[in-house]
Amino acid sequence: MTAPATPPHAATTDPGTASAAVASAQPAAPASSGRPAAAAASGRPTAAVGELFARFFDDAALFPPGNATMAEAVPAFLRRHGTLVGPFVLPASRLAEVDVHLDRSGPPLDLALIASPADLPAAAGTIAKHPGLRLATVEATVAVDAAHLRLTVRTAAGCLPPDLPVAVEIPRTDARDEVLDALAGTGFRAKLRTGGVRADLFPPVAELAATIRACVDRGIAFKCTAGLHHAIRHTDPATGFDHHGFLNVLLAADEPSRAAEHLARTDAAAIATELRTWSPARAARARAVFTSFGTCDVGDPIHDLVQLGLLPERITV
């Protein structure tokens, strides 16, 4: 991979030698059913590994399967003092519920606002006027086609600061490539759906690999939403759903030409060992591509990283 460029709204990366598409599905490796075993951890976390996960985990406590109440989720977020957790993910439709739960004596609540083009101007304006809120990023609802994407870009450009990160959800339809073509060069990011409450919301390995490569080929950074509950690919024993691992996605972002291979891996110890060899520059390049993901319980992914020896046992979240 080559060094990332920095357009007005987001960091992106030169696709380098990534191929244009994934030609065919690759078979998934056998999936495990839970967290990585503690025995998988070997070696100690390095400084580069610590930086690799800074603000990687967006707090989506309000969303399934966590479904925390606002009264639980906002105070829990405001008690966090570490560098691992990103902004609090909030739909525009629930913005009015936040105020009563804010800590007036503390810093403002950093928000990742989910909004449609129709709702974005009013919601962004409300946040800008509120001393207890700070708009950290915007996640626009799915753009069904290129025309919808262009509307989203125009709306966001008209009501947001030019350096504010904006991600637009990409459709899992035949319109994907036309939407990415329209997104390329805008400085906006892509938002990739990696799961949900139904099995069909989890993209197969080949589909997600192709989408990651399509983003990198166009110099588009991406974030992920839903389903990345654990570090390594696994099958949820309660639902039977096959979940992607967030470390698998990180490896795919680093080496998109082997994205399908990386997404299918379940060799937790080998993945952890590989990540410990990354230089700070390589870690920064990978994170410029895969910027963050939403998780309904930030404790789960962080626990996995501790178990894998990628974060210290004593860590402030």
Percent residues over pLDDT 90 in the chain:
81
Q: What phi, psi does 311 have (nearest 5°)?
A: -135, 150
Rounded Cα–Cα distance for residues 13 and 275 (Å): 19
Read off the pLDDT of each residue in 195-222 and give the average, rounded to a whole number.
98
Give yes or no for a contact between 117 and 128, defined as CB atoms under 8 angstroms apart: no
Place of tokens 């906006």: 188
Segment 127-183, tens digit of pLDDT = 999 999 999 999 999 999 999 999 999 999 999 999 999 999 999 999 999 999 999
pLDDT at residue 192, rounded to an integer: 98
**Listed residue (316, 301, 234, 305) closest to 66, CA to CA:** 301
Predicted confidence band of residue 214 (pLDDT cuts 50, 70, 90): very high
Segment 105-128, tens digit of pLDDT = 999 999 999 999 999 999 999 999
Segment 189-204, tens digit of pLDDT = 999 999 999 999 999 9
Read off the pLDDT of each residue in 267-283 and give the average, rounded to a whole number.
96
pLDDT at residue 37, rounded to an integer: 56
pLDDT at residue 81, rounded to an integer: 80
Q: Which residue type, as a one-letter code, is found at position 83?
A: T
Q: What phi, psi does 299 have (nearest 5°)?
A: -65, -35
Is the N-terminal amide bond of 108 cis, ω within 30° of 0?
Answer: no
Check pLDDT > 50 for residue 5: no
Check pLDDT > 90 for residue 212: yes
pLDDT at residue 15, rounded to an integer: 34
Instruction: Name the most confidently modeled range: 1-10, 22-31, 47-56, 146-155.
Output: 146-155
Predicted confidence band of residue 3 (pLDDT cuts 50, 70, 90): very low
pLDDT at residue 82, rounded to an integer: 86
pLDDT at residue 49, rounded to an integer: 72
Predicted confidence band of residue 35 (pLDDT cuts 50, 70, 90): low
pLDDT at residue 19, rounded to an integer: 31
Read off the pLDDT of each residue in 279-300 and give the average, rounded to a whole number.
96
